[in-house]
Amino acid sequence: MKKRPLDIAVISDVHVGTYGCHADELLTYLNSITPKILILNGDIIDIWQFNKRYFPNHI
């Protein structure tokens, strides 16, 4: 797959560690782009809903 070049990509409110975070879709998107700058803009991990059981054992 050819990656789409971007000057800037902004990722916000991904809430990693929660069951509703859509991690597979996020990974697919990130694997499809080559940004010069990647900005992570808030709520990367939602500490109030964080669940260690979300992550596979091998991580």
Tell me which residue of 48, 40, 45 sits closest to 16, measured CA to CA: 45
Q: Please tell me the pTM assigned to this model.
A: 0.70
Q: Where are the domains of the chain?
A: 4-43
Tokens of 35: 């940004």
Cβ atoms of 42 and 10 closer than 8 Å: no
CA distance 7 to 25: 21
| pLDDT tens-digit map of 1-51 | 799 999 999 999 888 777 778 888 999 999 999 999 999 998 887 666 665
CA distance 31 to 44: 18
Residues facing residue 16 across a β-bridge: 45
